Amino acid sequence: MCAEKQAVTVAEMARMVELSRARFYELLGTAFPLPVYDAATKRPYYPPNLQEACLKVRRTNCGIDGKPILFHRKKKELALKKSEPSKRKSADNHRELVDGLKSLGMQGVTATEVEQALQELHLSDAGGKDKGEVLKAVFLKLKHQDTSAPAPTKKPNKE
C-alpha cells in the first residue's frame, strides 16, 4: 500500500489506520511513529515514509517499539455486522408467537409469515406490548389473510 500524498495531518493519518484521533494520539511514540513538525508553521504532519510505517503497524499489529498491539474490529465491519439481522435471530424472536399460533390451530404458520404480519401491523418492534395482545393481532391478521383467499369450490358428488 503506497502513500499517495506528500504529507498528511495527524487526523488524516488516524483515519488512514482506521483509529480515532484520541486512540491514535495515545499510541504515538510507542506503537506509531511521532510526526514531523514543519519548521515554519510548527504543524505536525506525516511524510510518505512515516505514512508507510503507520500503515505497516496497522497491517502487522506490531508497533515501532517491537511490541504487539491489538486493535479492535474496524468500524465498517462492526457497522455491517450490526445492520445485518440474522434470520436465526428473527426466527428465535418469533418462536413464542409461532408456538402460540400453532396452539390456536394454525399448524402451518412460519416465522416468516409472522414477521410479515408484524410488519404489516407495525408491530415489528413490539418490545413494550403485551404478548397476548400481539399474539391476538397476528392471529387475526393471518386468519383474515387465510379467509380473504378464494375458497376452493366443491364439485358436486355424483352418486
pTM of the model: 0.47
Give pLDDT, residue 144.
Answer: 80
Do 144 and 91 belong together in one domain?
yes
Q: In sequence order, what are the beta bridge partners of 13?
A: none
Sign of the alpha-carbon torsion through 17, 22, 23, 26? positive
Do 70 and 106 belong together in one domain?
no
Give pLDDT, residue 119.
Answer: 84
Q: What mean pLDDT comes out for the span 106-121?
A: 84
Do 93 and 58 belong together in one domain?
no
Is there a domain that residue 5 lies in? Answer: no
How many angstroms from the chain centroid is the CA of residue 20? 19
Q: Which of 53, 75, 97 is the last residue of a domain?
A: 75
Do 68 and 22 belong together in one domain?
yes
Give pLDDT, residue 60.
Answer: 94
Is there a domain that residue 82 lies in? Answer: no
Do 24 and 70 belong together in one domain?
yes
Query: What range does the domain containing 139 cover?
Result: 87-148
Domain count, the chain: 2
Residue for grid cell 495531518: 9
Give the pLDDT band of residue 84 (cuts 50, 70, 90). low
Kind and range of the H or E element at 37? strand 36-37
